[in-house]
Structure 1
Amino acid sequence: MADAVLKLAYEVSRVTEEKVALIEGVMRRTGVLALNARLEAARAGEAGMAFSVVAQEMNGVATDIRNIARQLREAVAANIEQLRRAGSEMHFELRGERLADLALNAVEIMDRNLYERSCDIRWWATDNALVEALAAPGPDAAAYAQERLATILRSYTVYLDLWIADRDGRIVATGRPDLYRGAAGANMADAEWFRRGMGCASGDEFAVCDIARNPHLGNAAVATYSTAIRSGGRRDGERIGVMGIFFDWAPQAAAIVQGLGLSEEERKTSRVMLLGADHLVLAASDGRDILSKRFEIDAGAQNRGWYRQGDSIVAYARTPGYETYQGLGWYGCIESHVDSEWDKDKD
């Protein structure tokens, strides 16, 4: 709609200028004819006086029409400028709202994905093999728990690894001991995921940590979820250890920010990001600044919106959470370059 308004405004302006120029050309010719007629009337003397009056009148008409043409050009130009500005504002409004909707879509897709991770951790922590590996520790129990973790990983390919730790923080079993050799037996007592998981008051609770690189998993970026493993797998059982699951962040996040529903034109001039609550870049469609820089957004108290920044539109939306997953205050964000054709009136 905005494109149509602007195209119409430019076309009306072009046609008006063209037709006014034609009128002015005709009036110039009329003026020349009137001048020639007056010269001929003067040469004819008294016999040409009547013709001289007609020539004078023709010149006056030509002058009046030229003035009307000038006024028409000025009036049309003023109205076309207002129309262009209105169309430009409409364009930015529509584009900004669309990008804000897409930013919300990006963070909602991720939240729904992570909600499933919160369900996984609470379910798997009740698995009998994991409970027994902590309740009755020994080589056979640990081997069986490792087998169970490996089975889960074969089906749930979004995870790098799954760990269980005893109440002191020592890793008892992992799902991929051959791939991540440094994890088994490591002490995680000081790790945030272990401490927060051990602090869960019931089997309905879970802990989730911000995206971070894990040195025991090849320094890969992971979203870590944890919860306490309890005696008998009961919701209110005694806490005997912790399960930690490590979501393979990079490929899953890239699929979202690179696969968002932008047009081909928008995709060429836009950068889609997922930002932490502190505006740290967690994922970006261009692969830049991930976990190393912040992209400050002027969100104020608004959970969703857009604004102009230099030659770009910045659209954002804060996570609304999903089901029992409240989210971590993340944002979907899109920075989109403004087409110069639309940017003539930005100042």
Structure 2
Amino acid sequence: MITTLHQHESQRSVDLALNMIDIVDRNLYERSCDVRWWATDAAVVECVATADKALCQHAAERLSVILASYTVYLDLWVVDAQGTILANGRGENYSVAGKNISDMKIFRQALATKSGSDYVAADIATVPFLNNATVATYATAIRENGEENGRVTGALCIFFDWAPQASGVVKSVRLSEEEWQRTRCMIVDSTFRVIASSDGKTGDLFPLRTDGKMSGFYQTNGDSTVSFALTPGYESYQGLGWYGVIEQKQAAE
């Protein structure tokens, strides 16, 4: 039975879960802005338009400069309409130029975007071409002359270095030292797969019970309380159906 004190603690945990997912949403909203902006970069547009070796090398150098400032990314790829990677920003780390990614769902979705204001985002996954790193991938179409409604000539794919960024979020929840001893903070995706966890354990399915609610808490059959909050999205980023989740064992009486 959840006492009045435990109800107060659990509601606080709901607020903390919402804060976690809100931080993630704000961060990923910026990624959606980045991909749409960089897809209009003149070097990127010219590389895809011509496939000229020198111009694609210039595009790779431009992407490298971007990555030097945006350290949250593992790599940026310029891809032609057939799925061949023409340039990437970290060629010294990832030898992907010339490889074909036409079988990647997010690439096909990027080509199908209706305008330069649109983008696509994928759930957290490992990418073999990035040494199986865990990333959040965003993509959009590259369009002729960089125009918003220009003809689609290729795609830009950007790879957010998910693991360290997400770990920082779930480990920075404002809990006391005593609370941390009995608490696990998580981000779970729309299938309830754990994609970030304060204890470092990810990939498992968490048995979250939402009962159709956007947020709430409940007591498990054991001595734990689970508090959760669904992503509310941020600005034009609607989120991917992820939840902030806090599982906390009850304090000793």
Same fold (TM over 0.5): yes
Question: Which residue number in structure 2 is paired with residue 30 of structure 1?
Answer: none
Cα drift, residue 202 of structure 1: 0.2
AA at the equivalent of 1:323? E
AA at the equivalent of 2:70? Y
When structure 1 is superposed on structure 2, of 262-271 and 109-118 the one drifting more is 262-271
Cα drift, residue 319 of structure 1: 0.2
AA at the equivalent of 1:245? I
Match for 2:174 among 255, 261, 285? 261
Question: Which residue number in structure 2 is paired with residue 145 of structure 1?
Answer: 59
Match for 2:5 among 80, 85, 91? 91
Q: In the TM superposition, what are the counterparts of 1:99-138 in structure 2 within 5 Å?
A: 99-138=13-52
Residue 163 (structure 1) aligned with residue 77 (structure 2)? yes
Residue 314 (structure 1) aligned with residue 223 (structure 2)? no
Question: Which residue number in structure 2 is paired with residue 303 of structure 1?
Answer: 214
Match for 2:68 among 144, 151, 154? 154
Q: In the TM superposition, what are the counterparts of 1:1-347 in structure 2 within 5 Å?
A: 89-181=3-95, 183-288=96-201, 290=202, 292-309=203-220, 310-341=222-253
Q: How far apart, CA to CA, are the structure 2 residues paired with 1:125 and 1:94?
A: 47
Secondary structure at the counterpart of residue 273 of structure 1: strand
Q: How far apart, CA to CA, are the structure 2 residues paired with 1:214 and 1:130?
A: 22
When structure 1 is superposed on structure 2, of 241-250 and 189-198 the one drifting more is 189-198
Cα drift, residue 260 of structure 1: 1.0
AA at the equivalent of 2:38? W
Structure number, greater radius of gyration: 1
Q: How far apart, CA to CA, are the structure 2 residues paired with 1:196 and 1:262?
A: 40
Identity %: 48
Q: How far apart, CA to CA, are the structure 1 residues paired with 2:94 and 2:191?
A: 31
Answer 1 or 2: which has greater helix percent. Answer: 1
Q: TM-score, normalised by structure 1?
A: 0.72
Q: How far apart, CA to CA, are the structure 2 residues paired with 1:318 and 1:134?
A: 39
AA at the equivalent of 1:302? K
Cα drift, residue 340 of structure 1: 3.4
Q: How far apart, CA to CA, are the structure 2 residues paired with 1:337 and 1:167?
A: 52
Q: Which runs of 5+ in 1 are unaligned?
A: 1-84, 342-347
Instruction: Count the aligned residue pairs.
Output: 252
AA at the equivalent of 1:177? G
Secondary structure at the counterpart of residue 224 of structure 1: strand
Answer 1 or 2: which has greater strand percent. Answer: 2
1:220-261: CA deviation from partner (whole Å, max 9, x where unpaired): 100000000000000000000000000000000000000111
Secondary structure at the counterpart of residue 213 of structure 1: strand
Higher RCO, Cα 8 Å, sep 6+: 2
Q: Which runs of 4+ in 1 moved over 6 A?
A: none
Q: How far apart, CA to CA, are the structure 2 residues paired with 1:100 and 1:263?
A: 16
Secondary structure at the counterpart of residue 336 of structure 1: strand
Q: Which runs of 5+ in 2 are unaligned?
A: none
